[in-house]
Amino acid sequence: MLQETIRLADLVRTFPDYPVPGFAYRDISGLLQDPEAFHEAIDQLAARCRNELIDVVVGIEPHGYLFAAPLAYLLKVSLVLVRTQGRIPGQVFEIESYLRNGSERIQLGQDALQPGMRVLIVEDILATGRTIKAACELVREAGGIVAGVACLVELAGQQGRERLADYPVFAVIRE
């Protein structure tokens, strides 16, 4: 068990005005470098999701993978990746994801999900929720059912939870 004196939130650092002025970058590497903290974070995600009917975990590139893979392993379900444009071979579903400082296209392989699969979408940080919302739309386009969204950190002042109001959202850390 994680030492009582160390909270998971204390291991997530904030860098103001990085990478652009007005943006506050959340660095999760301190949590990832602490084996007990990383284990605790994954255990908390798994405990919250264990009783849900989930067929597949979808991790969003790049940082969602860090939590999606061990979570899928613990839940004994498949792992599917949502990636940036040009990184999935074959036929894909694709959507524009609007970021704070621009936009990008994200993709999901057309053969990644079977219709009716219940999906848990996993990301490291929930801020504005735009990328997660786009991933939800890709899952729905593929015939999947978004059973929920799980993330390590939720930045409450960014309105992400409100943007994802149609889905259950769980965060280990809420700032």
Query: What's the pLDDT at 97?
Result: 86
Cα 11 from Cα 27, distance rounded (Å): 9
* Banded model confidence at residue 101, pLDDT cuts 50, 70, 90: low
Query: What's the pLDDT at 5?
Result: 47
Q: What is the DSSP string of the chain?
A: ---TT--GGGGSEEEET-SSTT-EEEE-HHHHH-HHHHHHHHHHHHHHHTTS--SEEEEETTTHHHHHHHHHHHHT-EEEEEEETT-S-SSEEEEEEEETTEEEEEEEETTS--TT-EEEEEEEEESS-HHHHHHHHHHHHTT-EEEEEEEEEE-GGG-HHHHTTTS-EEEEEE-
* Short-list 136, 137, 156, 157, CA closest to 148: 136
Q: What is the pTM of this model?
A: 0.92
> What residue has token string 């969204």?
149
Domains and CATH numbers, the chain: 52-174 (3.40.50.2020)
Query: What's the pLDDT at 100?
Result: 63
* Short-list 58, 57, 69, 172, CA closest to 125: 172
23-75 pLDDT, tens digit each:
889 999 999 999 999 999 999 999 999 888 999 999 999 899 999 999 999 99
